[in-house]
Structure 1
């Protein structure tokens, strides 16, 4: 919906502390889920439902970037918004490549020097070692995805689609989402698939996950321009709660706690294709949090919530650091399984504390950096 000539551009919305806290919790959950063999995996929400933090991150990222794009387009025009998104996309792409090659160097060094035999093959880096001339271009094309290297590419691909989608949304509203929904359906029917190189597969099928990202972007645009926030409607709350309860029941049956079908969680498998049950569960969970958790509450000012909020504010940096910490924790648990009783909590709680420290250090860096740069006359 274009602004009228005499309309004022929308004001930048205040930062929603809920989103930061949720993002922080999801980063801690992702860190724990990446640690092979930890008992703390039972404590994250992915163990008790059909979806995990990945869906929420893609949805929230779409929501945030859709709002940012709409704000910049309203203030500076579509070209300014498109240029800003291009810079953001390029930075994320560069971050992915940096993490990719740093992680490759770590795994190869550990195999040769520690030594940790089998890590290269187990984590999918053999193709890089054996066929470097093919692995390098595939890595730059984001079609070669060893372990842990699959999530950032789906954000890059989705962000590349965002300017065209926002242009269509300004003219067709919700109908702009139709091509993404059609691609999602085609993926579920086995008619569409992104090719992969190196035998590792595509961890997050972009033709499926982009629909979730762009749906979030559409919601973010509407929230900014029309003030259409999430409202708690009884029938929607009841339906979403039923979906979440069904996911909890499926997990309990799968764990053998309750009687039921042999494997009810199987309906949510195929995370790479974002299976419909996963998508429905993720949307239901997101709606319940948005509709029922207040924007401000006393508990949000307590230090655990503030630590999560700091992590959420710097989620990309924390995610990248968390990958290396999770690899180190997994390696330690594999090498000294007899010490897991004390090593596991030390590694997990210490790692979570390290993520919080990275986030708080980033907060301090942000306060210092603009002032320091400004003295040189090149303020951001």
Structure 2
């Protein structure tokens, strides 16, 4: 197999992934007024879709490059190790989150919060709940996204093999599976009274589409064409999502139930998928690959978060849940808490990402010194 050349790092991806992590933190802090400032408030998709798409693009490029340079076995071992680390991270977050929720349930007036969040099975039957969490089918609140990524990473090698053999025609498989989920309602079973937050049989289509984009860029393919009619269609979908969201907020007449069903998140319903892809494509067209503003302080802070997105995401889950809990505990002080907690949480995420980057740089210098 020909040796491929690694493309230059695209700063846009780091900045966008960082902003998406901030948006996820804000959206999970239920009750904050800052939620009006993220794009999920004005469209029918949110940062989750963009993060899955970009993760597919990045991991698809990494795997394809490793495959070309070192062979399929080495590439498979690398992605399996990444998936293993992510699985262990999921279990660590699961146990830490459970401890936090149980503490709030027992020690504060928020009695019943554990049961409401789907943690009751762990409390009552941990010998069943823990294996359920290990296989990703027991999903209390906030515990659905990491199991999705573990599964998608394990499916990636087989899809890259299909891309190598069939090219873009390999997309028929993930898109056909997506169509089957929408028509037949396919979804893995959930355990412990919880529900699957992200149906992997549907959400895989975003990830695999991202893998294809990364794979074709790595092989030197020309950028995707931008015919005026397709750009117009993408703009129309984004505007439609804006109007539907306005109806959800009560600013315009309510949409029919069948229209709202097209925006369901757990199954990645068609309008939601179309909105996410349209928005991603328009941003890729509008935002230049290199721009002076990307090197200013705030975009650079977002880029640091983007380069450490997994760890920041996990920390953000804890911070956002605690912020929402404090809003409930002190409703009379919600405005002051909101003005303090959300900016402080974002500052903590930035500081954590900066610390991670500095710590990694020190480790790299030490490893280099030992090798000399």
Pairwise TM-score range, normalised by the shorter structure? over 0.9
Kindly indicate whether the alpha-carbon contact (under 8 Å) linking 1:230 and 1:291 is maintained by their aligned counterparts in 2: no
Select the residue among 330, 336, 345 that pairs with 2:339. Answer: 345
**Correspondence for 2:325 among 327, 331, 347:** 331
**C-alpha contact 2:45 2:275 (8 A) present in aligned 1:** yes
| In 1, Cα distance between equivalents of 2:356 and 2:67 | 28
Provide the residue aligned with 2:303 in structure 1: 309
| Contact 1:254-1:264 within 8 A present in 2 as well | no
Distance 1:229 1:79 in 2: 30
Query: Is this contact kept in 2: 1:232–1:292, CA < 8 A?
Result: no
Aligned residues of 1:51 and 1:268 also touching (Cα < 8 A): no
Deviation at 1:259, TM superposition (A): 4.0
For 1:145, what is the secondary structure of its paired residue? coil
Q: Is the 8 A contact 2:181 2:201 kept in 1?
A: yes
Per the TM alignment, residue 254 of structure 1 is displaced from its structure 2 partner at its CA by: 2.8
Partner residue of 1:176 out of 143, 155, 170: 170
Asked if 1:52 corresponds to 2:46, the answer is: yes
TM-score calculated relative to the size of structure 2: 0.96
Q: Which runs of 5+ in 1 are unaligned?
A: 4-8
Deviation track 1:211-263 (CA, whole Å, cap 9, x = no partner) reads 11011101100011124334544332222111101111112233232346456
What does residue 6 of structure 1 align with? none
TM (normalized to structure 1)? 0.94
Hey, what's the Cα distance between the residues in 2 that align with 1:191 and 1:56? 23
Match of residue 111 from structure 1: 105
Partner of 1:157: 151
- Following the alignment from structure 2 to structure 1, what is the Cα–Cα distance between the partners of residues 113 and 252? 37
Query: Paired residue for 2:22?
Result: 28
One of 180, 185, 188 as aligned partner of 1:194 = 188
User: What is the CA-CA distance between 1:39 and the residue it aligns to?
Assistant: 1.1
Q: 1:275 aligns with which of 249, 269, 272?
A: 269
Q: For residue 195 of structure 1, report the CA deviation from its aligned partner.
A: 0.9
Cross-structure match for 2:90: 96
CA distance in 2, matches of 1:256, 1:195: 34
Structure 1, 249-258 or 216-225: larger mean CA deviation = 249-258
* Alpha carbons of structure 1 residues 256 and 107: separation in structure 2 relative to 1, 3 Å: closer
Q: Give the aligned partner of residue 166 of structure 1.
A: 160
Q: Is the 8 A contact 2:40 2:46 kept in 1?
A: yes
- 2:177/2:201 contact within 8 Å kept: yes
Partner of 1:295: 289
Which runs of 5 or more residues in structure 2 are unaligned? none
* 1:47 positional shift: 0.8
Is the 8 Å Cα contact of residues 263 and 270 (structure 2) preserved in structure 1? no
Give deviations 1:32-52, integer Å, cap 9, x for gaps: 110111111111101100100
RMSD: 1.7
What is the aligned residue count? 372
In the alignment, the residues of structure 2 paired with residue 355 and residue 230 of structure 1 have an alpha-carbon distance, to the nearest angstrom, of 35
Cα gap change, 1:272/1:261 in structure 2, threshold over 3 Å: closer, same or farther? closer
SS of structure 2 residue aligned to 1:105: helix
- Please point out which of 285, 303, 328 is paired with 2:279: 285
Farther-moved stretch of structure 1 (185-194 vs 334-343): 185-194
Deviation at 1:264, TM superposition (A): 7.7
> Which residue matches 2:69?
75
Secondary structure of 1:272's partner?
Answer: coil
1:374 shift after superposition? 3.8
SS at match of 2:266: helix
Q: Post-superposition shift, 1:112?
A: 2.1
